[in-house]
Amino acid sequence: MLYAYLRIDRTSKVTSFEKVMVVGIIVCAVADAAIAITFIAGLVIFLLGHVVYICGFAMKINWSLKHFSIIIPLLIIGAVYGHLLIQNIQAQEAWLIGPVVAYIIVISVMVLMAFLTRNPFAMIGSLLFYLSDAVLAWNMFVESLKYSTVYIMSTYYSAQLLIAHSINKIANKS
């Protein structure tokens, strides 16, 4: 959060984009604390954080049809991975299927929007967030992974750092 704040160019007026993105980082930090207490609370708060990121990235994207090609691999990955997760969730806690599917859709849209900014830090950060959540879900619902906490937290904090780093670069892009 501090890094995101420090990345804002305070020599000029803070933009709505910068404010929204810092709020996204704060919401995700709250979600990180909440998920340690209860999975569903963390899931819902992270979902809200991704919605905030979507709103922020939407302010700065290049609306070009050719850049939407990223949607094809996202749809394939989301559908295949979601199908595998749903099979395992159904056997354990079927009531989680709806929230997990909603989360997969929202985080996929967040990745798409990050790619549409064409900022490499936002793009890599969003992919690392996706990877972090994929490992977390696999570890929870499919099979326990050795060193899962290391994988989850290293990719999550790297994602947040890269998204924070992208704020100033995206805000100052014409």
Write the pLDDT tens digit of every residue in 86-123: 988 887 788 999 999 999 999 999 999 999 999 999 99
Q: What does the pLDDT look like over 30-82, one tens digit per residue?
A: 999 999 999 999 999 999 999 999 999 999 987 777 767 778 888 898 899 88
pLDDT at position 2, please?
Answer: 57
Report how far residue 59's alpha carbon sits from residue 22's, in angstroms, rounded to the nearest whole number: 14
- Terminal-residue alpha carbon distance, the chain: 25
Residue 90's CB is within 10 A of a number of other CB atoms, namely 12
| DSSP conformation letters of 96-148 | GHHHHHHHHHHHHHHHHHHHHHT-HHHHHHHHHHHHHHHHHHHHHHT---TTH
Read off the pLDDT of residues 119-135 as tens digits, 9 standing for 90 and up: 999 999 999 999 999 99
Instruction: Give the per-residue pLDDT at 12.
Output: 67
- Quick one: pLDDT band at residue 11, thresholds 50, 70, 90? low
Does residue 7 register a pLDDT over 60? Answer: no
pTM score above 0.95: no
Residue 5 has pLDDT above 70, yes or no: no
Please indicate whether residue 91 or residue 150 has the higher confidence score (pLDDT). 150
Burial degree of 131 (CB within 10 A; 0-12, 13-18, 19+): middle
**Cα–Cα distance between 47 and 99 in angstroms, integer?**
9
In 13-38, where does DSSP find H-type helix?
Answer: 16-37
In the prediction, which pLDDT does 106 show?
96
| Cα torsion through 165, 166, 169, 174, rounded to 10 | -170
